[in-house]
Amino acid sequence: MNIVTRLDYASPLPGDDRLLLVMLPGAGIRARDFAAQGMVAAAHAQNLPVDVSVVEPDLTLYLEDEVTAALHREVIMPARARGYTRIWLLGISLGGMGALLYASAHPNEVEGLVLLAPFLGTRGTMAALAKAGGLGPETQALATTAPEQRLLGWLTAHLAQGAAAPALYLGYARQDRFAPGHRLLAEHLPPSRTAIQDGGHDWPAWTALWRELLAHAPFRPRPSGDRDCYKI
């Protein structure tokens, strides 16, 4: 068992076509914090039956690139067996890295990703990408670790293809210590997919960013065949 804690919060709304939102914490964040900070209630306030599962993996899984297998085995496949056809991932900080790693391995299993202040790579990798002009053909070669190479290689290809799924939403604070990497990703996303506010790498920023992104109705079903207009 690689999942330390799992907390499930069913939406009070009825309906058979339910959406499962899996929330992933970063370092120093506990599963119970998502409800305590109002993140779960904000998801339930949407006019859709959005069920929430907060999953707290062992943090070493992120760094050893094993979080994908744990999520697939213990969360996503059981959700499919229960009848969920729409699954989203939300990750904060290192949890954002976990969401991207999962999507890079199983892009057809998730409809969308919400990345709040995601850890996209080491400062050295982000500095090298900025020097090279941002995300592009050289991205994967500039990454310094295997998880970064897989994550950034997939992310660059996904943006270039303009694939409709998984949809990408990004929120970050201007004074966040990881903001240089966030800005590199934000350059390729439409304004309706981004939220930027003043603040740091902390709950006040993350909750404000979450509310702003929810105002764009990310969970609203999209027309079949719809494609995204990423800039790359």
pLDDT tens per residue, range 173-196: 999 999 999 999 999 999 999 999
Query: Mean pLDDT over residues 10-24, rounded?
Result: 94
Number of helical (H) and strand (E) elements in the chain, helices listed first: 11, 7
pLDDT one-digit tens code per residue, 186-228: 999 999 999 999 999 999 999 999 999 999 999 988 665 555 6
Cβ contact 167:218 at 8 Å: yes
Given its phi and psi angles, is residue 8 left (phi above 0), alpha (psi -120 to 50 degrees) or beta?
beta
Distance CA 57, CA 30 (A): 10
pLDDT one-digit tens code per residue, 27-68: 999 999 999 999 999 999 999 999 999 999 887 877 766 889
pLDDT one-digit tens code per residue, 91-138: 999 999 999 999 999 999 999 999 999 999 888 888 888 888 888 877
Full strand arrangement of the beta sheet holding 112-116: 3-9, 50-57, 19-24, 86-92, 112-116, 167-173, 194-197
Given its phi and psi angles, is residue 62 left (phi above 0), alpha (psi -120 to 50 degrees) or beta?
alpha
Distance CA 183, CA 201 (A): 15
Given its phi and psi angles, is residue 84 left (phi above 0), alpha (psi -120 to 50 degrees) or beta?
beta
CATH architecture of 3-214: 3-Layer(aba) Sandwich (3.40)
Question: Would you give the distance in Å from CA 9 to the centre of its chain?
Answer: 19
Distance CA 205, CA 143 (A): 28
Q: What is the 3-class SS of 126-155, one letter each residue?
A: HHHHHHCCCCCCCHHHHCCCHHHHHHHHHH
